[in-house]
Structure 1
């Protein structure tokens, strides 16, 4: 089973741009979230790899040594803190600018101080401190107590990391990943911008090229490019305009060619009887015809040829009149079925004269319709006259009229000689008179063109079906009236 692919509707440029912004925003959020997690894990694992000695010398454990007088308290003092050495809970040595008056500590205080290497609070109004027990060079037990005054913010966790190998490592990692993230975001922004710009600029280039090409007169050119909905509408509108102009140009050329052919055919059709009239008239005028019977015969030829000229001019006038945009039919409401029967009845003497068989299949029902009786009769009679003219005796003619829900169909069918495919293609064109055997029959060549024009003026259409040796069928379709039930 063949799968039918449904054509996808092109997206709007607005939607495409907003989608690009949305994708960029989502990528940015995801990337930042990933970077924060990565930084947290890196800091955690790096902190485990580094010993506290990698930090600046700011805790009791980091600076303590057996010779407490050689303790390196440079960083502590620079940060506004000081170092106290305790023996038997009493301060025996101070390094730095001591900013309190405590010279002796209780057991509870010391237990509290020695329970952690660094104890602080987010409340910078409290003292930040750390403590470590050690054995001095003299063999006695001491406690090294590091203290910082209130609001000494340098001793927060960040302050401890500043300047340390771990701090530098974290700082380098942070700089690297955020620089990389910024670069990735710039690349993504560039790619998205490039894609959106390309999808907008490429169709515009094709459209501009199409406009330039069409403006030079190449109306068969079609713009072929994938485009978003707004540009697709412009592309399709330009292609439709080009197609319409191409069709209009083709019709214009056809009309000009038809006009030239009409003038040539009119000249030919009028020249023949005029030449005959001139010849007969000159013979009479020069006294070349003496016999009265011949004079009468020549005068009769002149009369017939003048009638032929009058007929041609009348047919041409009728066709030109109907072709004018201002021409209107004289529509009168009546019974179309009865009119069709009466039109056929009028030709019964001709059927009998030509030894034609005929059959009329029109139901006895009233078919209300607004039509021009004279012009519609002209159209029907043109078809019947052609059937009588071109078919041999014994031919059968069948007439049908069928009323359907949305149309009324009239058909005129014969079982005669038929019409070739070449003639069928042009039978409704002006000055078409069939094959070479038919072109000297005295017809105007406008009869079927007038028939087609009359049917179209009534809002209908006419078609032909024919096969050589089997006959011809003309089918007239007229739309039903809107107020019919």
Structure 2
């Protein structure tokens, strides 16, 4: 066993013995409070001291001409203990008394005396009575001493064959209990140490990515379940990190490729213009247009990267303006269809209302919705159609941009808005930065909205965008 195991057992024993010590001390105080009373002389005494006092008080009773009386020393004892006394003859009639309670009787029957002897009380629970007897000239006298204390008499009936020596039985019981506690503490300490070591090993295995989930239905079930959950979360985080790193590398490779692609013709035509003696203005113009086109493409890539960074860090100024959102989308659709590249495409437009006033940045939302619509055409077939639906329910405006294109798998939709992701379910390889939809999502969220995607392969894709309106 390791040193930490021994230390754990030692700590457990110390805690166990401390708990036992506290219990013993508490039990001692409890027993002491039961077997002691606060005597009238402002001192503590055993609860049975009135019985001893009563038995010995017979020596303080004297007879003068066969009439019982109390010595001066006896009177002083009664006064110091605030006690009273009655002396009865053999018929139960009082023949002498001192400081007796007001409710004390002058005559007691044998049954009443027997009850007092058994219970110690006669009506008043705050006064306890003890009985003693003396004999003078062949006559029996009974005396009752009244103590201003509430003392209960308890009688126990035990097995006479077994209870021969009370002290030895008590010692035997204490020894047995102590031995059981000792063995139980050792077993419990060993079990706790083993469990703690098991937890320690599990934590090391989690750190080393070699942890095997543990099933435990005992006291530490919650701890092991937490360790299992922690391992699952760490593994999921590792997988996400690997996927993100892979997408980052793929994105860097794509960006590098996309930057090199326009740089090659720029460099090539620039070398032609610088090295060859070209006098034809038509060639110069054609070469210059190719260079400008590729420079524009590089600028768009750089602008996308810059916009992504600004949106993610809240650095892009959003210029909101109250305007008709339905009219804005209609104009955007017309602009896209006026583009020669998409003039033969079909966009369906459906709005329940003609005027929906909304405060938004026209430039940013143009970029966002243009991305959604153009992506549907670029990644779909030539027959792909786009439908735009606008509706208002309460203070929420919902815009649905849907298409009947190829659709996407659940894996693709779950990664669609990530910065470096490019979809795979397309009929052709499209050039791009993989930032378009990530930018779209950031723009919509910057306007206070949210966007979700639903797609089915072979059916199409729906983008649902919601904005709060007043």
Q: TM-score if structure 1 supplies the norm length?
A: 0.52
Check whether the contact 2:322–2:360 (CA below 8 A) recurs between aligned residues.
yes
Q: Which residue of 1 aligns with 2:303?
A: 314
Residues 1:454 and 2:446 aligned together:
no
Superposition deviation, residue 436 in structure 1: 7.2
How do residues 67-466 of structure 1 correspond to structure 2 at under 5 angstroms? Answer: 123=132, 172=164, 174=166, 177-179=169-171, 181-186=173-178, 189=181, 204-205=196-197, 207-213=199-205, 216=207, 218=209, 251-287=240-276, 291-324=280-313, 326-327=315-316, 329-332=318-321, 336-350=325-339, 354-364=343-353, 369-404=358-393, 407-419=396-408, 424=413, 426-429=415-418, 430=420, 432=422, 434=424, 437-439=427-429, 441-466=430-455
Q: Which residue of 1 aligns with 2:33?
A: none
Instruction: Give the distance between the partners of 2:258 and 2:221, measured in 1 at CA.
Output: 54
**Residues 296, 433 of structure 1: alpha-carbon distance in 2 compared, 3 angstrom cutoff:** farther
Superposition deviation, residue 274 in structure 1: 0.6
Check whether the contact 2:398–2:464 (CA below 8 A) recurs between aligned residues.
yes
Check whether the contact 1:417–1:470 (CA below 8 A) recurs between aligned residues.
yes
Superposition deviation, residue 412 in structure 1: 1.0
Residues 1:475 and 2:464 aligned together:
yes
Superposition deviation, residue 384 in structure 1: 1.0
**How many pairs align?**
328
Judge which range, 359-368 or 258-267, deviates more. 359-368
**Residues 195, 371 of structure 1: alpha-carbon distance in 2 compared, 3 angstrom cutoff:** farther
Instruction: Give the distance between the partners of 2:211 and 2:368, measured in 1 at CA.
Output: 38
Superposition deviation, residue 339 in structure 1: 3.9
Check whether the contact 2:450–2:465 (CA below 8 A) recurs between aligned residues.
yes
**Residues 297, 366 of structure 1: alpha-carbon distance in 2 compared, 3 angstrom cutoff:** closer
Structure number with greater Rg is 1
* Counterpart secondary structure, 1:347: helix
Instruction: Give the distance between the partners of 1:302 and 1:186, measured in 2 at CA.
Output: 96
Instruction: Give the distance between the partners of 2:221 and 2:357, measured in 1 at CA.
Output: 48
* Counterpart secondary structure, 1:402: strand
The answer for unaligned runs of 5 or more in structure 2 is 1-15, 28-129, 139-158
Instruction: Give the distance between the partners of 1:406 and 1:299, measured in 2 at CA.
Output: 52
Instruction: Give the distance between the partners of 1:349 and 1:362, measured in 2 at CA.
Output: 21
**Residues 368, 178 of structure 1: alpha-carbon distance in 2 compared, 3 angstrom cutoff:** farther
**Residues 421, 172 of structure 1: alpha-carbon distance in 2 compared, 3 angstrom cutoff:** closer
Q: TM-score if structure 2 supplies the norm length?
A: 0.54
**Residues 232, 470 of structure 1: alpha-carbon distance in 2 compared, 3 angstrom cutoff:** closer
Judge which range, 325-334 or 194-203, deviates more. 194-203
Instruction: Give the distance between the partners of 1:471 and 1:244, measured in 2 at CA.
Output: 34
* Counterpart secondary structure, 2:417: coil
**Residues 291, 254 of structure 1: alpha-carbon distance in 2 compared, 3 angstrom cutoff:** same
Instruction: Give the distance between the partners of 2:284 and 2:262, measured in 1 at CA.
Output: 18
Instruction: Give the distance between the partners of 2:307 and 2:330, measured in 1 at CA.
Output: 25
Instruction: Give the distance between the partners of 1:305 and 1:273, measured in 2 at CA.
Output: 5
What per-residue deviation string (whole Å, max 9, x for no partner) do you get for residues 244-299 of structure 1? Answer: 66666555555444433332222110101111111122223222756543343222
**Residues 453, 211 of structure 1: alpha-carbon distance in 2 compared, 3 angstrom cutoff:** same
Superposition deviation, residue 372 in structure 1: 3.2
Check whether the contact 1:337–1:363 (CA below 8 A) recurs between aligned residues.
no
Instruction: Give the distance between the partners of 1:473 and 1:442, measured in 2 at CA.
Output: 23
Superposition deviation, residue 185 in structure 1: 3.5
Provide the aligned C-alpha RMSD in A.
Answer: 4.9
The answer for unaligned runs of 5 or more in structure 1 is 1-16, 29-120, 130-166
